[in-house]
Structure 1
Amino acid sequence: MFKNCRRVRKSTFLQLVSMCCILSVLMVCWDQVDHHVVSHVKSYSYRYLISSYDFINKSLSVSPKEAAQFGSFPFLLNNENICKDQDVLLLLFVKSSPGNFKRRRAIRSTWGNESYIKNELGVIVKVVFAMGVHPDIPSKIIIQKTLHKEHMNHGDLIQQDFLDTFHNLTVKLLLQFRWTHENCAHARFLMTADDDVFIHLPNLVHHIQDLGRQNVRDLWIGHVHRGAPPIRQKNSKYYMSFEMYQWSSYPDYTAGAGYVVSGDVAAKIYQATLSLNASMYIDDVFMGICAILAGVSPQEHVYFSGEAKTPYHPCIYEKMITSHGHADDVRYLWKVATAPQVQEISSGLLGNLYCTAVKIMLLCKPYNSNTYSCMAAFT
């Protein structure tokens, strides 16, 4: 009996020591646990318990006069005739920064080459670059002169007089939808993408052509974030204060790196911007808020990437639409991704099985969550 008591006390003592160790670790790491686990649990619970996010729109509603102030910057560079008298399948807005000359050159010579698209794919895609002004005044003067020369040569820059910074990305979004409404409302589809995104234009064109034949409406496709929580850590680039957004979860939205909407959705989003407070500087989230007012929901497309690069492999290239993080290798990726042999790699039963196995190995890993999902391996 005495021995049993000693064993019980020893076991209890070990349990207490173990619990103290766990609590100590939690106290040290609580900040990380709270923001990376608890906030996501809260966010997902919140998203699926509420029936809609209509109350957010009511909270952010402003008068048309107030809403107009967020995007009422004069144009410094513009070309109102880009779409005039043309049957535009896709208007593609590339979010660029004034000093990113090399990126724009690479895009024009690869996936954004309008002549290639028209001659090889038989459709009209208009590619334009949206930007503000360089935030550094001494650099701004020199860069602005170079931008004027670039615009004279290509005529594809759309620039307004606001500082081109991270916190003005929503202003850039307003620019895109306003410009589309005024100058290219007849485009059947609108896409917005970052200038470090690679777009497989042949695959994208074939996909939206199929959608066009089906006369789709209310289309908004991309890499969807559902139940994402606001980040409350002040040292984060994406910090969101309670004063600006007090709710536990953002509405569903697509990653701003690249998404596509149908022409009717572009018109609805523009109308939504005319009555909302656009001080929300995370443009992806603001797009989600506008979509609530427009009555549109984002649809997941497994070959639109999030923030990460997609794996390099012909089996991936065959169906890829976008891949993020390509500042220096656009020309290489364009060459290998559009090579004729890519379309033959999965032909036949063996080819299909081979590519499925390859994609499972490349995509079905936890750390690939911000590129293509594992589901892409089976489509």
Structure 2
Amino acid sequence: MHSWCWKRLLCASLLLSLLLWCLLLLAGDVQKKWPVAGRFRLAPRGRLPARPRLGAVQGVDFASLFAGPRAGPRCARGQVLLILVTSAPGNVEARHVIRRTWAAQEGRPANQWQTVFLVGQAANAEVAQRMQRERQEFGDILVGNYKDTYRNLTLKVMHGLKWASEQCQPYYILKTDDDCFVNTDRLPTFLAELNTVRTGLYVGSLFSREKRQVIREPSSKWYVSRQDYRPDEYPPYASGIGYVLSLDAAEKILEAAQRVRPIPVEDAYVGILAEEAGVRAKASARFAKHNVRWRVCNYRYLMVIHHLSPREQEAARRSMLEARSACRDSLEVTRWK
């Protein structure tokens, strides 16, 4: 009787061990097929990123952004200003309007500047071919090795800043969007002749503290998980409508990007990098988040205006040029504020 009990216990133990082993194998297989959701990873061209090793660099993978045979636009080194304009492959009209308004140059400007459009990979083959022809015709489009989506805007800006700082090395870089107006009649001259902050410059329209709260709602296009950014508030940062970086500040921000995990909120990420690099964000009212009925003389002060239609871009350029002579009696503001 005693021997029979021991045999039953031994069989039961073996069955339990076998069952536990099967469950562990099944759990491992499920984990491989269904990784934990909610983790934001920027993946160029839609490739799934490799699972990071302990101690591995978590920052921007710049090498992958430049992969491929695509050559960038030509740029003269040492220009006063390089303007980087984020644009989508299909935004052909917006780019054409900019080329014939504020990006148009009359002769050779005293303070040299240039405009370059930042674009990612188009999902539609026809759109991609059309963009390729446009790039060859105008020579002002920088194409990066990443899918062109809103959540990849951070990659777009990092790619553009890296290219600009290494290939062009302008004194200053302005990042803006293709629905913005840039006062190119004033900004290059202001930077070259009136600006007193020559190094460590990161200036734009800063968000107030209550608007720097990290959005945790998954349905929002600005959603950032706690895994990707732990604090509930971003450091001070300039709106993506337009901010100016001195070359040294851009280089420090790019160096920090190699070790700081990217998030899908481009302007906030630049603010995070600036804080990491010890670059202080500077507030300026010269960058207007909203397009209102600006008077002609406002164009002696404003440098970037957000949210303009093609027709409004044309009108803004006329006002910018009219302000040269119509507002000579108004006092020239020589500071950022």
TM-score between the two structures when normalised by the length of structure 2: 0.75
Shift of 1:311: 2.8
- The equivalent residue for 1:256 is 240
Shift of 1:332: 2.1
Partner amino acid for 1:131? V
* 2:72 is the alignment partner of 1:79: yes
User: 2:301 aligned to 289, 310, 319, which one?
Assistant: 319
Q: Alignment partner of 1:78: what SS?
A: coil
Shift of 1:211: 4.6
- The equivalent residue for 2:85 is 94
Structure 2 residue runs of 5 or longer lacking an equivalent are 1-53
Check conservation: 1:67, 1:275, Cα contact below 8 A: yes
* 2:181 is the alignment partner of 1:198: yes
Check conservation: 1:134, 1:143, Cα contact below 8 A: yes
CA RMSD of aligned residues (A): 2.5
- The equivalent residue for 1:237 is 221
**Greater fraction helix:** 1
- The equivalent residue for 1:143 is 127
Structure 1 runs, 4 residues or longer, greater than 6 Å off: none
Which has the greater radius of gyration?
Answer: 2
CA distance in 2, matches of 1:75, 1:189: 27
- The equivalent residue for 1:276 is 260
1:104-253 aligned within 5 A: 104-113=95-104, 115-116=105-106, 119=108, 121-135=109-123, 140-185=124-169, 187-211=170-194, 214=196, 216-227=198-209, 228-253=212-237
Partner amino acid for 1:201? T
Higher mean Cα deviation, 328-337 or 282-291? Answer: 328-337
Q: Deviations over 1:58-111 (max 9, x none)?
A: xxxx9675435366132464326x224x44111111101111111111111111
Q: Alignment partner of 2:187: what SS?
A: helix
Q: Deviations over 1:107-141 (max 9, x none)?
A: 1111112x32x53x412112111111223xxxx21
TM-score between the two structures when normalised by the length of structure 1: 0.67
Check conservation: 1:314, 1:337, Cα contact below 8 A: yes
CA distance in 1, matches of 2:164, 2:302: 26
How many equivalent residue pairs? 277
Q: Alignment partner of 1:173: what SS?
A: helix
Q: Alignment partner of 1:67: what SS?
A: coil
1:45-84 aligned within 5 A: 65-69=57-61, 72-73=64-65, 74-75=67-68, 77-79=70-72, 82-84=74-76
CA distance in 1, matches of 2:286, 2:293: 12
Note closer, same or farther for the CA distance 1:215–1:70 as it changes in structure 2 (3 Å cut). closer
Q: Alignment partner of 1:72: what SS?
A: helix
CA distance in 2, matches of 1:160, 1:90: 21
Note closer, same or farther for the CA distance 1:69–1:266 as it changes in structure 2 (3 Å cut). closer
